[in-house]
């Protein structure tokens, strides 16, 4: 019987979601017969990880100081296996700007973008005009290193652009400004290490204008459609792109890749989540259930993949 330490909570903006994920993970591990320890991680109790001396750590942290490679690096120093991707992949995928640069380098489709830096940001009117000229309206403004759509704004009017950029700067020193893709939101969950398995594509509908924090975590405000309402050719293309993306960014264990498909049927990668949610409303468990993998079996598989690494 392996001793599994579940890291949850943490200090990011996504703390409450992490606690929810972690509690579900603990229940599943206990049902599978693992010896389970729990730690609500913060800077003052890091040393407890070594004291607990787990066989493997299940990282159920979301956002900064959990999903961004920091915890992964500490566990590498301790020589303790952990679920999910390694340091470099975690850090890259947490940063939307670096992710998009690598996607572009690999020739993988992602919406056009530019980067705004807080140090050099100019509120002049010409900035607004140049952004509208490049992207049109609406456009998307995102904080670089937040999850759960925190710090993300869809701007429809010119007078909303500067306030949205400044709001995003409250979360990060760098802001991503991206072409808005009007179409269908899809997400693809992938499991595995060297030989990943792509799970069924999910189509997401939302009661709100976009799939924001409220829609993601409020019962009844979104719907996960499996199978997605797309044709076979598009399904095959997205499956191929998802596997290629997973391998190109050296993901391990599991990840979730979000897409927008425009009205011409062109898919665009929005982002890659290396520790996607594991709550009752989360997408990865839904995709797993669609192929007969129960929540408990999914969690056990993630532990085995961590030990395999």
Which residues, at least 6 apart from 70, have a Cβ–Cβ distance to it below 8 Å?
A: 64
d(CA 56, CA 36): 10
Catalytic residue among 9, 10, 13, 14: 14
* Residue 14 bears catalytic tag: yes
Report helix, strand and coil shares of the chain as percent, to nearest 5: 40, 25, 35
Catalytic residue among 171, 211, 213, 217: 217
| Strand pairing class (174-179; 222-225) | unpaired
* Residue 271 bears catalytic tag: yes
Reference 248, options 51, 79, 50, 105; nearest CA is: 105
* Residue 223 bears catalytic tag: no
Torsion of CA 275, 42, 38, 21, to 10 degrees: -30
* Residue 256 bears catalytic tag: yes
Catalytic residue among 90, 95, 242, 273: 273
Computed from CA positions of residues 205, 284, 70, 113, in that sequence, does the dihedral angle turn out positive or negative? negative
* Residue 148 bears catalytic tag: yes
Alpha helices in 58-124 (DSSP H): 70-78, 87-94, 96-105
Catalytic residue among 147, 180, 277, 295: 277
- Rounded alpha-carbon distances, angstroms, from residue 105 to 99, 109, 110, 196, 248: 10, 10, 11, 22, 10
- Rounded alpha-carbon distances, angstroms, from residue 284 to 165, 272, 293: 31, 13, 11
| DSSP tag of 280 | T
Catalytic residue among 37, 174, 258, 286: 258
Is 213 within 8 Å of 148 (Cβ atoms)? Answer: yes
* Residue 217 bears catalytic tag: yes
Q: Which two tokens stand for residue 255?
A: 């990840």
Catalytic residue among 13, 68, 160, 271: 271
Q: Which residues are catalytic?
A: 14, 148, 217, 256, 258, 271, 273, 277
């Amino acid at each position: 019987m392996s001793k599994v330490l579940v890291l949850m909570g943490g200090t990011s903006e996504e703390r409450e979601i992490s606690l929810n994920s972690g509690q579900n993970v603990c229940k599943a591990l206990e049902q599978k017969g693992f010896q389970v320890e729990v730690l609500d991680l913060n800077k003052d109790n890091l040393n407890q990880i070594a004291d607990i001396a787990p066989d493997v750590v299940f990282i159920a942290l979301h956002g900064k100081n959990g999903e961004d490679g920091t915890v992964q690096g500490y566990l590498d120093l301790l020589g303790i296996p952990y679920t999910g991707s390694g340091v470099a992949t975690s850090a890259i995928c947490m940063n939307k700007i670096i992710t998009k640069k690598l996607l572009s380098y690999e020739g993988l489709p992602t919406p056009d973008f530019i980067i705004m830096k807080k140090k050099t940001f100019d509120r002049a009117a010409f900035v607004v005009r140049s952004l509208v000229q490049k992207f049109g309206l609406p456009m998307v403004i995102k904080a670089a290193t937040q999850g759960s759509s925190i710090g993300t704004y869809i701007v429809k009017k010119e007078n909303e652009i500067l306030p949205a950029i400044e709001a995003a700067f409250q979360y990060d020193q760098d802001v991503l400004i991206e072409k808005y893709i009007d179409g269908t939101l899809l997400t693809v969950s992938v499991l595995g290490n060297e030989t990943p398995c792509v799970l069924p594509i999910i189509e997401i509908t939302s009661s709100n204008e976009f799939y924001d924090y409220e829609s993601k975590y409020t019962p009844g405000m979104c719907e996960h459609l499996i199978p997605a309402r797309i044709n076979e050719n598009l399904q095959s293309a997205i499956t191929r792109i998802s596997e290629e993306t997973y391998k190109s960014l050296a993901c391990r264990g599991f990840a979730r890749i979000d897409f927008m498909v425009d009205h011409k049927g062109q898919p665009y990668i929005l982002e890659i989540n290396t520790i996607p949610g594991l709550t009752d409303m989360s997408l990865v468990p839904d995709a797993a259930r669609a192929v007969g993998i129960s929540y408990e079996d999914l969690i056990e598989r993630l532990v085995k993949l961590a030990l395999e690494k």
